[in-house]
Structure 1
Amino acid sequence: MDDVIQELEQNIKTSRQWLDPYDAEKIKNRYLRGSAKRIALFQPNIFYKFNIFEKNVWDENYIMLGQAALNFDRKDLVITCLEKLDIPTKEYWGLPIDWHSGKYIFHKGMLMSTTTSECILFLCEVYNTYPDLIEKKYLMKLAKKILISLNKNIINSGDEYLYSYTPIDKYQVFNSNLLVAAAIGVIGKIVEDCNLIDEAKRIYTTCEKYLPKEGYIPYSIFGSEKTADAYHQLFSMRAVYSLKEYNLVNTVLLERIESYFFEKFYLNGNVVLRPESNTLDLQPFSEALRYFGISKNLMKFKELYESRFSLMKKDRYIQRVWRYNSKIKIKSNVCHSRQGYLRLLLALSYKARL
């Protein structure tokens, strides 16, 4: 694993080399932006050369790098990532860009429920491993901040609601709410706060009630199976697994969404992007490998690890492969950092814990 550790160290030092499809958010027109993102899977450099795209420093990348450092028991690198994330000064985390989402623009630096929850879960693991680095009162402050910042979007009654994605929207997104539930639930367990635990269970119960019985995770409430994809399914599985590990929920929902994942997304020892599709992508591949590491499923971890060559081109990892049949495949030329290579480094780091 020495090569993974070396890559980990290098990426903590050289954030300006990161490639991200959301670097395209400088483009205001949604159709041009979408086209540019697709072209950038093959030739991204021209967009940076002419300042159409702009490279950014992503909090989420330091969260992933920090978690990988934690898996390798590299306290020095964990401390560096904590410093990059402005711990313990900062109370929430977001994006380094203005993100266009439907009718909303989520501005640079705005609290994002997903990024903040992922950071909280990372910090909880840091506390459990190195309690001298994180104080309980800081974790409590983070939990209160995310709950007072997000909007409660009522479904049928005051007891049934989901939290917004950011402080300004009215979205009801399943994967983000499950991550919020995991974040505040785990903090509740650590600081022994019944109110946080109860709120986490309330969010979880609402998600469980409105999630489709088939087991897929639509992007938002009342969404169809067409909106399901492997990486949001895996984000949700990881969040529910965290709740289960802290004895906050039973296994009924986890078994249902896991079963759907293995039936529709995990095909022939590899992970497809959409239900029963032929497209491979490094983001869901890495998230699946990470999940197998977290859940200590050594057999599946080894099986998927052996499939990593399908997402390589000329001995380099790439982001996506479109498979039309056994002979015709189109492979992208590059690999994103946040959705690809850094997520893979994190996934590979779990091998040190198996």
Structure 2
Amino acid sequence: MPLSSVRSFSSLKVFCENKEFAGWDPYDGLNSRLFQSLPGLRQSRWARLAWIQFFKLSPVNLRRIAFVPEEHNAKGLALFLTGYCYLYKTEPKDEYREKIVFLADKIIGLASGGYAGACWGYNFDWQARAFFQPRHTPTVVATSFVADALLTAGDTLKESRWQDTALSSARFVLNDLNRTYDEKGNFSFSYSPLDKTQVFNASLLGARLLARVYSYTGETLLRDEARKAVQYASDRQQPDGAWAYGTLPYHAWVDNFHTGFNLECIYQYQQFTGDASFQPFLEKGFSYYLQHFFTDGGIPKYYNNKTFPVDIHSPAQLMATLYKMNRMAEHQELADKVLDWTIRKMQAPQGYFFYQKRRLMSSRINYMRWAQAWMFYAFCCYFASSNSKKWINEL
């Protein structure tokens, strides 16, 4: 299947480059100038939540008539940046170098100010059930992906200023995030400085960032604090290997891509620190992931207990998880099957990928961060895992 995947990726690449990596997002409804012009709605928690969910769940894209602009999203740019770094390492073309420089510099310009270290958030107000995040409020998730991308870019092009910015992000994780401790002294990092929720993948992404920075600086505090966060999440793994999204009653679901986040974060914590004590949790979780989130026909399920909706993030995360955990060769047949199904069922003729395939009415909306950036990154992980130079030369 390599040739069909290269054609698919080439089409996606052209689409994203023509858009200059800017676009809409499932959660950007509050960027609507129409909504912002209505103070009574803008100030209501329930109105904000309902407005976001309406735009997220609607199969029809209403953003143009609601005056929602297409914008750059720091996390989405980070996924593109990492992908171009993987391409450049395989085939050091000038066009890849130019994209790396453009994306890294653009990302640094989107950083949120006033915190202990470099950090990033989303380009929209975001109302969740647990908390409200104003536009550009930094989160550990966005910051982790951005810092990881900048470190990779710095390694790729030997650019110290990108690395220095990324390394400072460890101070944001250590000093600006809230913590929830258990009786053992282990803890979960909060999602942002504004909340105190315990979301396992978010906390583990913070731990991975600390561990990676430790691999550069040797600062033992980073390793030690990362270990406590990994232990907290590992202790809350369910007996069958699953993780709920978080600890709140309405965070009890188990889904594909957040499970993938957990796995790659624990794996890379061990990789960066040399601490292999979490391997039993990792193996149990990886086995659960493979057994519960992919059908025999290659359909990547969103949730552990039902097939639909199929979210584009799920097949993308499989490629990332297998690559990050160095298990692509072992599960190449699954990767090929899932990628083939995704290309056939979820890619538009224009090159972009749909948001969700549902049982009755799918959402075929083009979302730059959630769909295009993730699939671009997924393809690059897929190619980087194999002897793909001859295929990349076809781009």
When normalised by structure 1's length, the TM-score is 0.87
Deviates more, 1:198-207 or 1:127-136: 127-136
- Residue from 333, 348, 354 that aligns with 2:379: 348
Match of 2:150 among 97, 106, 123: 123
Residue pair 2:74, 2:110 contacting (<8 A) in 1 also? no
Question: Aligned-pair distance for 1:56?
Answer: 2.8
Residue pairs, 1:1-354, within 5 angstroms:
1=6, 4=9, 7-8=12-13, 11=16, 14-15=19-20, 17-26=22-31, 28=42, 29=47, 30-39=49-58, 42-44=59-61, 46-51=62-67, 53-73=68-88, 74-86=96-108, 91-134=118-161, 137-156=164-183, 159-221=185-247, 226-246=252-272, 247-250=274-277, 251-268=279-296, 269-279=298-308, 280-294=310-324, 295-298=326-329, 299=332, 300-308=334-342, 309-312=344-347, 317-323=353-359, 330-353=361-384, 354=386
Alpha-carbon RMSD across the aligned residues, in angstroms, is: 2.6
Distance change >3 Å, CA 277–CA 121, structure 1 → 2: same
1:178-217 CA-partner distances (Å, limit 9, x unpaired): 1111111011011111111111111111111122222212
Q: Relative to total residues, which structure has the larger strand share, 1 or 2? A: 1
3-state DSSP class of the match of 1:47? Answer: coil
Measured in 2, the distance between the counterparts of 1:110 and 1:58 equals 13
Q: Which letter does structure 2 place at the counterpart of 1:264? A: H
CA distance in 1, matches of 2:130, 2:286: 33
Deviation at 1:121, TM superposition (A): 1.8
1:320-351: CA deviation from partner (whole Å, max 9, x where unpaired): 2223xxxxx54333232211122111111123
Letter in 2 for 1:254: L
TM-score by length of 2: 0.79
Q: Which runs of 5+ in 2 are unaligned?
A: 1-5, 36-41, 89-95, 113-117, 387-395
Any idea what the Cα deviations from partners look like across 1:194-248, whole Å, max 9, x if unmatched? 1111111111111111222222121113658951111111121221222233233
1:126 deviation in Å?
Answer: 2.5
Change (3 A) 1:102 1:289: same
Q: 1:86 to 1:93 in 2, by over 3 A?
A: same
Q: Which amino acid aligns with 1:109?
A: H
SS at match of 1:306: helix
Go from structure 1 to structure 2 and tell me whether the alpha carbon gap of 1:232 and 1:130 turns closer, same or farther (over 3 Å shift). Answer: same
Q: Verify the 8 A CA contact 1:9 1:77 in the aligned structure 2.
A: no
Percent identity of equivalent pairs: 15
Q: Which has the higher contact order (CA 8 A, sep 6+)?
A: 2
Distance 2:129 2:250 in 1: 18
Deviation for aligned residue 1:130: 3.0
Counterparts of 2:21 and 2:381 in 1: how far apart (Å)?
26
Structure 1 contact 12–65 (Cα < 8 Å) conserved: no
Residue 110 of structure 1 and its aligned partner are, at CA, apart by: 1.3
Q: What is the total number of aligned residue pairs between the two structures?
A: 344
Unaligned 5+ segments in structure 1 are: 324-328
What's 2:115 paired with? none
More displaced 10-residue stretch of structure 1: 235-244 or 272-281: 235-244
Q: Which amino acid counterpart does residue 182 of structure 1 have in structure 2?
A: R
Pair 131,88 (structure 1): closer, same or farther in 2 beyond 3 Å: farther
